[in-house]
A and B are shown apart, each in its own frame.
Chain A
Amino acid sequence: MEGAEIIFTLPILGIPVSETVVNTWIIMGVLTLFAIVSTRSLNRIPKGMQNVAEAVVDLFNNFTADTMGEQQKGFSPYMGSLALLLLFANLAGLFGLRPPTADLNTTFALATMTFLIIHLGGMKKKGIKGYLKNYIEPFPAMLPLNIIGELAFPVSLAFRLFGNVVAGALIITLLYGALQSLSGMLGITIIPVFQAAIPIVFHLYFDLFSGVLQTFIFVMLSMVFISMAVE
């Protein structure tokens, strides 16, 4: 499996735009379109698309309130958008797109956002002094270890998502290659018999199950760590 392909290069400064960015744009477009269409004519009694939008918002509000506590409900929009983006990104493999999360840049960007919220939220809550005091507890000699421990969180968050998605995509690619050479060996080249049905089970596990699970885990871990920092 190769890295993300460069689709085109911006004329200004020669910035390369990779497959990851383009696929993220597609996902952003779909989500934005859904948000606009479903909330275009809001009624007191919801009908049609408004029902779906309200159900999604309600789901994330309740989920955030359950995990982080009622007073941290303000994080619901961040968590909701994170979850929707990750869900669509992880499921992109089903539509033949390269998942944007199969790129360390995407996962690291998202993990960095959570990392910043954790630390800025901690500073806001405890004050700069109280926040810095955390690093020399239980005793000052623990300072380097504490710093490494804090830095390990975004790294592990990003690598976990990246590793899972890439491993899934890699196994699917290898499977397609193996099935192709199998049908080639049997002399069936016109209709790819083996590639048609066998990968479905693997797509179910690696794209659907693993994708939804990793979305849930990423959002859940973000919630747990943020609520630990700002409480």
Chain B
Amino acid sequence: MEGITGRELVMAASAIGAGLAAIAGIGPGIGQGYAAGKGAEGVGRQPEAQGEIIRTMLLGQAVAETTGIYGLFIAIILLFANPFLRLLG
């Protein structure tokens, strides 16, 4: 651990933290895929309601996406506007 400054340590830890935060993408991926599958099922059963089904599906997927976006936001902050580096001065 010799020769590593505190600043470098914070930067490395932030990079790891950004990667970990991006794992939040798993949840929305599963959820959106499930919604899309159900949407496809619905269209298969009732092809005449396709427009309505797609609209509802997209809306639900957008809401499901929120948690993933929060994770992404943390990752972006850690990479581009790191608050810990600023604390170090």
Contact = CB atoms under 8 A, between A and B. Distances in A.
**A and B: real partners?**
yes
Contacts of B81: 3
Interface stretch (B10-18, B32-40, B67-75): B67-75
Given A156-B66, A160-B65, 8 more contacts: A3-B81, A156-B63, A159-B69, A163-B69, A163-B76, A170-B76, A217-B58, A221-B62
Nearest to B55: A220
Interface of B: 55, 58-59, 62-63, 65-66, 69-70, 72-73, 76, 80-81
A163 B25 CA distance: 12
Contact of B80 (A3, A159, A162, A224): A3
Contacts of A220: 55, 58-59, 62
Interface in A162-186: 162-164, 166-167, 170
B-side binding surface: helix, strand, loop or mixed?
Answer: helix
A37 interface: no
A3 B82 CA distance: 13
B70 A159 contact: yes
Interface of A: 1-3, 156, 159-160, 162-164, 166-167, 170, 213, 216-217, 220-221, 224
A166 B77 CA distance: 12
A156 B8 CA distance: 33
A91 to B, nearest CB: 18
A182 B81 CA distance: 28
Contacts of A170: 76
Contacts of B69: 156, 159-160, 163-164
Contacts of B72: 163, 167
Contacts of B73: 159, 162-163
A3 B66 CA distance: 22
A160 B71 CA distance: 11
Give the top 9 A-B pairs by smallest Cβ distance, nearest first.
A163-B69, A217-B62, A156-B66, A163-B72, A159-B69, A160-B69, A159-B73, A220-B59, A163-B73
Nearest to A157: B66
Nearest to A224: B59
Given A160-B65, A160-B66, A164-B69, A217 B59 contact: yes
Nearest to A2: B80
Nearest to B71: A163
Nearest to A1: B80
A177 to B, nearest CB: 15
A221 B55 CA distance: 11
